[in-house]
Structure 1
Amino acid sequence: MKSRALRRALIVTAAASTVAIALAGCSGSDDKGASGDSNEKITLTVTTFGSMGLDSLYKKYEADHPNITIKPTNIDTGGNALTDWQTKQAAGSGLPDVQAVEEGWLSKVMQVSDSFTDLRDYGADDIKDRWVSWKVDQATDKDGRIIGYGTDIGPEGLCYNRKLFAAADLPTDRDEVAKLFGGDDATWEDYFKIGKQYHEKTGKAWYDQSGFVWNSMVNQLPEGYYKADGTLNVKDNADLKARWALLAQGAADGLSSNQTQWDWGGGKAFIDGSFATFVCPAWMLANVKGPTEAAGGDASTGWDFADVFPGGPANWGGSFLTVPTTSKHPKEAAALAEYLTSAPSLVTAFQAAGAFPSVIEAQTDPGVTGESELTKFFNDAPIGKILARRADGVKAQFKGPDDSVIQEQVFGPSIQQLDSGDADGQQAWDNAMKLLDQLVVNN
């Protein structure tokens, strides 16, 4: 959902030499690019956001395609990228040749999908098996047009602090931690129950703030804020209400540290024992490492990554590369998008930004499953292997046009009320429903 995947701001490490070697022979894009049938000098514009890990690939592509110059623009957050795209889309001008789209606002794009190039015209059907199937489904409109090539996905595991667990007499070995939460049968009820025990033992919070937990809980449901048919699914949603009750009780029990999202006191909360667990989609791992190091911490701070997640498989975030029909070079833009989403390219992106590949071949590449600066930070956890297992069983949830509005502007204020103690669960829910009526149409 929108900003969730958007502040992946702190990068991990440069691509390993093995990836560079792999890149030398990568991608069928060369067969479809301008260099195959023209020496015309062209410039391709690319708009991305956050830290997608693609930056180092542009120079490589230009070297292999001397007639092409890439002019990239990176927008700091997905929310700002959405505003940028909507403004230019409404104006009918200013859009790039390659536009990155975040999962949380893909539904808005799908409402005007005919203003994006059907990538089947440039070989999408021939390569669609490279991605996990649900990623392709997400990028396919109601008329069967494939308008985006998938970059990353966000399977979720659980980050935890070994030192804080040890102080509370909880297991610290990641396999034992997975068992503690129930392994494949892990539930949110057990997560909050263990958190209450931890709080009673230590007097400290269990997680950083309730917003990320809520986001994970919602993403995990077969249907979230919208039903698969596109209708709103909030007010009478028994699953949402049940999870809200758990969240509200957790806040009332002192399990939330009431941190400011994306700030964590400049990273200090990751090293001062403010909280012991953290919900971690793939891209979020860099947002543990980066702030921790910015605050003076390192691997010895104690963070680890376990192959378990309450409630089972869940996906949070992920992006696509699209080609607006306003592009004067759609063939070359499609070839560039194909190259940037090839297996070797997404291995590079994973090593640069922790973006877990949506391409199946890349998920088992040594550059993803092997050692990196990220794995070293997380106590040598086999991060790539864990994420591949966490991705198993994920099903794409339909995201409606105001999904991010509901997450941030409808439930966001009520979540802050829970964490600050300004409202109980029912009051906070009622306040959210009032905002839903004000901010979201056709409810």
Structure 2
Amino acid sequence: MNSRNLRRIAILTAAASTSALVLAGCAGGGGGSSSGDSNEPITLTVTTFGTMGFDDLYKQYETDNPNITIKATNIDTGGNAQTDWQTKQAAGSGLPDVQAVEEGWLSKVMLVSDSFVDLKDYGANDIKDRWVDWKVKQATDSKGRIIGYGTDIGPEGLCYNSKLFAAAGLPTDREAVAEYFGGDNATWDKFFEIGKAYHDKTGKAWYDQSGFVWNSMVNQLPEGYYKADGTLNVKDNADLKARWDLLAQGAADGLSSNQTQWDWGKGKAFTDGSFATFVCPGWMLGVVKGQVEAAGGSTADGWDFANVFPGGAANWGGSFLTVPTTSKHPKEAAALAAWLTDKESQVATFAAAGTFPSVTAAQTDPGVTGQNDLTKFFNEAPIGEILGKRAVGVVAQYKGPDDATIQEQVFGPSIQQLDSGKADGETAWNNAMTLLDQLVVNK
């Protein structure tokens, strides 16, 4: 999800109960009812990260496949999951039967794609039309092997606190908010302009910290830290630098609350008025809800979700389920991965965690477009409908092998310098370029 090495908040996100699931087909066709040619008891290990909403599905799968036991491990963030995978991949042992891979480090996985099962051997060609086409392309290696089944995608909308907006004289109705920010023509310039006016009037920050805003800005570009041909695209990148300058000015204007990523004081910053807006891909909605509730808050705290995003369509996040070739049960593992990513399962994970489906039929299912615990929390916002609209125009950005490193270790320290006031925009950018040379270019 880039979820970029995200989602430490799994334990804070309350999972909604999932509905009864319609089971389909055989293992070769992606169904979950077949466990292979034998009823011999087996254990399938699964490693995920963050908040994927699979817990109830594991139980359902075990019920419908009595000979299968699922041993699931969930790692707090995508970054830590990447480290875990790389360590075990290098050792050649310890990998699970089903490994979740985040889009931010998918390119590293593709460098060793032969160490993952070609899911076409287990029916991937028969079910590949279930996903948006770019999701399948992301998981297809240079040899044409499909090594992953898509879970979610991350179209972005704007979370905002209606109580804080009202106190500052800003519109609060979500349609009026979308129009106020520019609707389909919303820009980052307008976002920061409104934020400065909000800060000048209230003395409060506009967003939690600059890292997530920067991540969204980068993901939105046709090409981010890498060009489509795989070459680095950071130095002398005018689009990146222009957005960095906006971000730096925003920090200088006091728009960042300088929160610690994935901390927020155990959710308190979401309930005490520390900031008024939050960039929200679908899966982040569950994060907001979990953080508010962890701090003792509720829907009464006023968080809402608008169908608008500065700069237009953007995608942040999205994962895949893969099967390492070290699996002793590749057929059964592939069947489980296919079932966890079919329409009914993606509807269920959306209800549990807000992860917007990459399966097209699931995107318009009433279980996604209708009411659930998330919609109730966000002031009855039609979350599924909004995310469906926000997904229009999204194009997958190529993520190079060091994409996550650049985001976290190259720009991360400089973003903290901006938020803390320890460096101006130009100095912080130059510091990032120095780290780029040390960590990526000359490694």
Which TM-score bucket, shorter chain as reference?
Answer: over 0.9
Q: Which residue identity is paired with 2:66? A: P
Q: Which residue identity is paired with 1:11? A: T
CA contact (8 A) 2:122 2:334 kept: yes
Structure 1 residues 164 and 27: alpha-carbon distance in aligned structure 2, compared to 1, 3 A threshold: farther
Which residue of the partner structure matches residue 296 of structure 2? 296
CA offset digits 1:341-364 (Å, max 9, x no partner): 011111111111111111111111
Which residue of the partner structure matches residue 235 of structure 1? 235
Which residue of the partner structure matches residue 371 of structure 2? 371
Structure 1 residues 274 and 35: alpha-carbon distance in aligned structure 2, compared to 1, 3 A threshold: closer
Which residue of the partner structure matches residue 7 of structure 2? 6
Which residue of the partner structure matches residue 404 of structure 2? 404
CA distance in 1, matches of 2:314, 2:230: 21
Structure 1 residues 301 and 153: alpha-carbon distance in aligned structure 2, compared to 1, 3 A threshold: same
TM-score after normalising by structure 1 = 0.96
Which residue of the partner structure matches residue 136 of structure 1? 136
Does the residue aligned with 2:234 lie in a helix, a strand or coil?
A: coil
Structure 1 residues 342 and 29: alpha-carbon distance in aligned structure 2, compared to 1, 3 A threshold: farther
**CA shift for structure 1 position 8:** 4.3
Which residue of the partner structure matches residue 82 of structure 1? 82
Which residue of the partner structure matches residue 54 of structure 2? 54
CA distance in 1, matches of 2:393, 2:129: 17
CA distance in 1, matches of 2:207, 2:217: 14
CA contact (8 A) 2:151 2:321 kept: yes
Which residue of the partner structure matches residue 309 of structure 2? 309
CA distance in 1, matches of 2:251, 2:219: 20
Structure 1 residues 27 and 77: alpha-carbon distance in aligned structure 2, compared to 1, 3 A threshold: farther
Which residue of the partner structure matches residue 219 of structure 1? 219
**CA shift for structure 1 position 236:** 1.0
* Residue 425 (structure 2) pairs with residue 425 (structure 1): yes
CA contact (8 A) 2:28 2:122 kept: no
Does the residue aligned with 2:436 lie in a helix, a strand or coil?
A: helix
CA contact (8 A) 2:44 2:69 kept: yes
CA contact (8 A) 1:8 1:284 kept: no
Does the residue aligned with 1:316 lie in a helix, a strand or coil?
A: coil
Q: RMSD between aligned alpha carbons? A: 1.6
CA contact (8 A) 2:29 2:126 kept: no
CA distance in 1, matches of 2:169, 2:271: 19
Q: Which residue identity is paired with 1:25? A: L
Alignment of 1:150-169 (within 5 A): 150-169=150-169
Q: Which residue identity is paired with 2:386? A: I
CA distance in 2, matches of 1:365, 1:143: 34
CA contact (8 A) 2:36 2:331 kept: no
Structure 1 residues 27 and 239: alpha-carbon distance in aligned structure 2, compared to 1, 3 A threshold: farther
**CA shift for structure 1 position 75:** 1.6
Which residue of the partner structure matches residue 25 of structure 1? 23
Which residue of the partner structure matches residue 348 of structure 1? 348
Structure 1 residues 49 and 13: alpha-carbon distance in aligned structure 2, compared to 1, 3 A threshold: closer
Which residue of the partner structure matches residue 110 of structure 1? 110
CA contact (8 A) 2:313 2:392 kept: yes
Alignment of 1:185-196 (within 5 A): 185-196=185-196
Q: Which residue identity is paired with 1:214? A: W
Which residue of the partner structure matches residue 73 of structure 2? 73
CA offset digits 1:68-127 (Å, max 9, x no partner): 222212222212211111111111111111111111110100000011111111111111
CA distance in 2, matches of 1:269, 1:11: 16
Which residue of the partner structure matches residue 176 of structure 2? 176
Structure 1 residues 165 and 111: alpha-carbon distance in aligned structure 2, compared to 1, 3 A threshold: same
Q: Which residue identity is paired with 2:232? A: L
**CA shift for structure 1 position 205:** 1.0
Which residue of the partner structure matches residue 331 of structure 2? 331
Does the residue aligned with 1:74 lie in a helix, a strand or coil?
A: strand
Q: Which residue identity is paired with 1:372? A: N
CA contact (8 A) 1:8 1:353 kept: no
Does the residue aligned with 2:45 lie in a helix, a strand or coil?
A: strand
CA contact (8 A) 1:248 1:424 kept: yes
CA distance in 2, matches of 1:109, 1:70: 24
Which residue of the partner structure matches residue 98 of structure 1? 98
CA contact (8 A) 1:5 1:316 kept: no
Structure 1: segments with no counterpart, 5+ residues = none
Which residue of the partner structure matches residue 264 of structure 2? 264
Alignment of 1:278-297 (within 5 A): 278-297=278-297
Does the residue aligned with 1:396 lie in a helix, a strand or coil?
A: coil
**CA shift for structure 1 position 165:** 0.9
**CA shift for structure 1 position 38:** 2.1
Does the residue aligned with 1:236 lie in a helix, a strand or coil?
A: coil
CA offset digits 1:404-434 (Å, max 9, x no partner): 1111111111111111111111000001111
CA distance in 1, matches of 2:197, 2:76: 39
**CA shift for structure 1 position 67:** 2.3
CA offset digits 1:216-240 (Å, max 9, x no partner): 0000000100111111110111100
**CA shift for structure 1 position 274:** 1.1
Which residue of the partner structure matches residue 17 of structure 2? 15
Aligned identity (percent) is: 78
CA distance in 2, matches of 1:138, 1:27: 25
